[in-house]
C-alpha cells in the first residue's frame, strides 16, 4: 500500500484496488469514444471509395450531398469527436492523478494519436480524390 497525502495534511493508505473503479471507468469511456471515432472515419472513407468505384468517372452525382461530401463529413466528425474525447480523457486523468498519484499511466492518448493519423490520411485521400 502507498501513502497518499490528503487535503487535511494527513496520509491516506490505499492500494490499486481502490483506484481501479475510477481508472476503469475513464478507460471504458475513452475506448467508447475511440471506437466511435474509428467507425466514423472508416465508414466515411468506405462510402467515398465504394461510390468512387460504383459511379462511372464521367458521370457526376446530382444530389445535394454526394458520396465525397458525405465521406468528408463523416471523417471530419470522427476526427473532431476523437480530439474532444482525448482532451476530456487527458483532463480527467490529470485530475485523478492530482488526487491519487498512484494512478497508472494510460496509453489511450497514444492510441488516439495513432487513430487520428489514420483519420488525417483518410481525409487527405478524400480531399485530393485519391
Give the helix/strand (H/E) hosting 60. none
Q: Is residue 7 part of a domain?
A: no
pLDDT band at 116 (very low <50, low <70, confident <90, very high): very high
The answer to whether position 81 is within a domain reads yes
Do the Cβ atoms of 23 and 96 come closer than 8 Å? yes
Q: Distance (Å, rounded) from C-alpha 58 to C-alpha 27?
A: 48
Q: Say which residue, 56 or 113, is predicted with more confidence.
A: 113
Question: What is the spatial distance between Cα 1 and Cα 124, in angstroms, rounded to a whole number?
Answer: 50
Distant-in-sequence, close-in-space partners of 78: CB < 8 Å, separation ≥ 6 = 36, 37, 38, 39, 40, 41, 44, 119
The answer as to whether 76 is a domain residue is yes
Residue 4 lies in a domain: no
Residue 31 pLDDT level (bands cut at 50, 70, 90)? low
How many domains is the chain partitioned into structurally? 1
Alpha carbons 59 and 64: distance in angstroms, whole number? 15
How far apart CA 43 and CA 68 sit, in angstroms, is 12
Q: Reply yes or no on whether the pLDDT at 68 is more than 60.
A: yes
Domain membership flag for residue 14 = no
Q: Cell 469511456, residue?
A: 29
What residue numbers bound the domain in which 68 lies? 20-127
Average pLDDT over residues 95-111: 85
Instruction: Report the first-to-last Cα separation within the chain, whole angstroms.
Output: 56
**pLDDT for res 35:** 86
Task: Give a yes or no: residue 10 inside a domain.
Answer: no
The percent of residues above 90 in pLDDT, for the chain, comes to 34
Residue 109 is assigned to a structural domain of this protein: yes
| Confidence category of residue 104, pLDDT binned at 50, 70, 90 | confident
Query: Is residue 103 in some structural domain?
Result: yes
pLDDT of residue 12: 59
Q: What is the pLDDT of residue 29?
A: 55
Rounded average pLDDT over 70-84: 95
pLDDT of residue 79: 96
pTM for the predicted model, two decimal places: 0.73
Amino acid at each position: 500500500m502507498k501513502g497518499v497525502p490528503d487535503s487535511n495534511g494527513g496520509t491516506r493508505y490505499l492500494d490499486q484496488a481502490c483506484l481501479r473503479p475510477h481508472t476503469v471507468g475513464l478507460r471504458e469511456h475513452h475506448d467508447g469514444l475511440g471506437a466511435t471515432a474509428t467507425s466514423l472515419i472508416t465508414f466515411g472513407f468506405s462510402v467515398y471509395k465504394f461510390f468512387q468505384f460504383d459511379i462511372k468517372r464521367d458521370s457526376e452525382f446530382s444530389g445535394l450531398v454526394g458520396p465525397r461530401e458525405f465521406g468528408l463529413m463523416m471523417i471530419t466528425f470522427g476526427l473532431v469527436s476523437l480530439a474532444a474525447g482525448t482532451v476530456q480523457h487527458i483532463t480527467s486523468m490529470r485530475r485523478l492523478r492530482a488526487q491519487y498519484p498512484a494512478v497508472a499511466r494510460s496509453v489511450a492518448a497514444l492510441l488516439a494519436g495513432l487513430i487520428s493519423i489514420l483519420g488525417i490520411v483518410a481525409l487527405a485521400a478524400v480531399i485530393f480524390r485519391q
